[in-house]
Amino acid sequence: MEIPNNRLLPDTANINGLGHLEIGGMDVVDLAKRYKTPIYLYDEMTIRNRMREFVSSLRETYSKSKVLFAGKAFLIKRIVKITEEEGLGLDVVSGGEIYAAKEAGFPMENVYFHGNNKTMEELSFAINTGVGSIVVDNLSELKFLSSLVKRRPVNILFRLTPGVDPHTHSYINTGRVDSKFGFQLDSDDLKEAIGIVKSDTFLNFTGLHCHIGSQIFDTGFFRMASEIMAKQTVEFTRKWDLPVKELDLGGGLGIAYKPEDDPPTPKEMAVAIADPVGEICNREGIELPLLILEPGRYIVGNAGITVYTVGAIKEIPGIRKYASVDGGMADNPRPMLYQAQYTAFLANKMREHPRDVFTIAGRFCESGDILIDKAYLPRLERGDILVVSATGAYNYSMSSNYNMVPRPAVIGVKDGKEDIWVEREDYNDLVRLHR
């Protein structure tokens, strides 16, 4: 039995004959019993479907294009391998992410290294491992990089701040003028950086980059940023004699976290971005650059769920009903950081209709450890298997050992089989590095 109008769960989500949630041909209740909870559960087919959708949408709109997976959303070795198999490049933001890519055997020439405060050690590591491109964020970093590159050229892009405010949460809004990221347009720092690049033979300027934020539903903001960056492409090519071979417009496409969410499609995002680039460059007689997009959340967000077991149930008459689960803010800090909202299901009671409202509380020693303020659920009992949907992006990446609790396992499912992508931590892992 299919789940009607499903937008929150993975593509392969079904309700089986027992009334249980099934993902990738696997009964989620059985997986919870076998691997214990909490677990992060990923549907490999959904990840691949989203990658293919993004690549084809951009290619159909703008043939001279490239898609990178924004690794910060969820970077483990298995995802790196899937990214390579699907023909995407990789966007990384730290030495650790570079190391994970290298250990997974990813072609390093197809890696782009971002970040507003890359250390000298990270930059050296990137150069020595053959990272394909470094996205320079500021003048200080450029000077750092210039002092390190003395043997062979390194490809660089400038990250610019286009001044576009997409009105998302302030913590995931990166395109405004007041941002820690990127060069301000027409700033003295940018002009000095241009001068350094033109005089340093080992800094190979290949293009421009921007990223205006995350969880964006209005493609008009993508179009605004694209117009600004296309004009910068003309200016760099004509005024500064620095042809823009690559134009990276970042990511930020939103996903559905709640039933009423209605995000745009990758095709709609691609059209909003590609059209201004083509129009402006063709009008000005500028060679079209390679257009790069960097989806992260869209690729893995709805491909992943987190599976919990319900524990204590507490009712405060006239106020609310609490249902506590065996995870919380350590495996999903986003509700506390961004006021992120999620949807819950009971994996063992998928045919039962919601009959009450619960506040889903975590197990951690913080009053603010609330995963969902209002969850509409069927009759709830201790031992029920509760699933929170759309937790595939930034949950594992941002997880912690708060209260000395081991991180959950990551399980991948596909075609009726499961595979352990990341082992569950144990108590020994918590103290292994202690002295």
Sign, CA dihedral 313-314-320-322, equals: negative
Catalytic residue among 1, 18, 312, 365: 365
Residues 6+ apart with CB under 8 A from 168: 213, 214, 215, 216
Q: What is the 3-state secondary structure (H, E, C) of the chain?
A: CECCCCCCCCCCCEECCCCCEEECCEEHHHHHHHHCCCEEEEEHHHHHHHHHHHHHHHHHHCCCEEEEEEHHHCCCHHHHHHHHHCCCEEEECCHHHHHHHHHCCCCHHHEEECCCCCCHHHHHHHHHCCCCEEEECCHHHHHHHHHHCCCCCEEEEEEEECCCCCCCCHHHCCCCCCCCCCEECCCHHHHHHHHHHHHCCCEEEEEEECCCCCCECCHHHHHHHHHHHHHHHHHHHHCCCCCCCEEECCCCECCCCCCCCCCCCHHHHHHHHHHHHHHHHHHHCCCCCEEEECCCHHHHCCCEEEEEEEEEEEEECCCEEEEEECCCCCCCCHHHHHCCCCCEEECCCCCCCCCEEEEEECCCCCCCCEEEEEEEECCCCCCCEEEECCCCCCCCCCCCCHHHCCCCEEEEEECCEEEEEECCCCHHHHHCCCC
Q: Environment class of residue 19 by beta-carbon count within 10 Å: exposed (0-12), middle (13-18) or buried (19+)?
A: middle
Hey, which residues does 40 pair with through a beta bridge? 306, 410
Q: Is 365 marked active-site?
A: yes
Other CB atoms within 10 Å distance of the CB of residue 402: 16
Active site residues: 365
